[in-house]
Amino acid sequence: MRDFAKDHSALALNTATLGHNLDGYGAGWSIERVLDACAERGFGGIVFWRRELGDRAIQIGEQVRAAGLRVVGLCRAPYLTGPLALPDREAVMDDFRAAIDMAAGLGAPVLTIVAGGVEPGTKGIGESLKLVADRVAEAAPYAAVRNIRLAIEPLHPVYGGDRSCLVTMRDAVDLCVAVDAPNVGVAVDVYHVWWDRTLADELLRVGPRRIFGYHLCDWLAQTRDVLLDRGMMGDGVADLKAIRTAVEAAGYDGPCEVEVFSARDWWKRDPGDVLDACVERFCSVC
Q: Report the CATH number at residue 43.
A: 3.20.20.150
Helix, strand, coil percentages in the chain from 3-state DSSP, rounded to 5 = 45, 15, 40
Residue 98, domain member (yes or no): yes
Q: Where are the alpha helices (DSSP H) in the chain?
A: 31-40, 50-53, 57-66, 89-106, 126-145, 169-179, 190-193, 199-206, 240-249, 271-285
pLDDT at position 1: 87
Q: Which domain holds residue 65?
A: 11-285
For the four alpha carbons of 217, 25, 23 and 33, in that order, the dihedral sign comes to negative
Given a contact cutoff of 8 angstroms between Cβ atoms, the answer to whether 169 and 154 are in contact is yes
Residue 3, domain member (yes or no): no
Strand, helix or coil for residue 212: strand
pLDDT at position 285: 97
Helix (H) / strand (E) element for 72: namely strand 70-75
pLDDT at position 251: 97
Residue 164, domain member (yes or no): yes
Residue 84, domain member (yes or no): yes
- Average pLDDT by consecutive 10-residue portion of the chain (286 residues)? 94 98 93 98 98 96 98 98 96 98 98 98 97 98 98 98 98 97 98 98 97 98 96 98 98 98 97 98 98
Given a contact cutoff of 8 angstroms between Cβ atoms, the answer to whether 116 and 79 are in contact is yes
Of 218, 220, 223, 261, nearest in space to 243 by CA: 218
pLDDT at position 77: 98
Given a contact cutoff of 8 angstroms between Cβ atoms, the answer to whether 184 and 206 are in contact is no
Domain count, the chain: 1
Residue 2, domain member (yes or no): no
Cα angle 60, 61, 64; round to 5: 85
Neighbours of 264 (CB within 10 A): 10
Contacts of 33 (CB under 8 A, 6+ apart): none
Residue 4, domain member (yes or no): no
Of 263, 203, 257, nearest in space to 228 by CA: 263
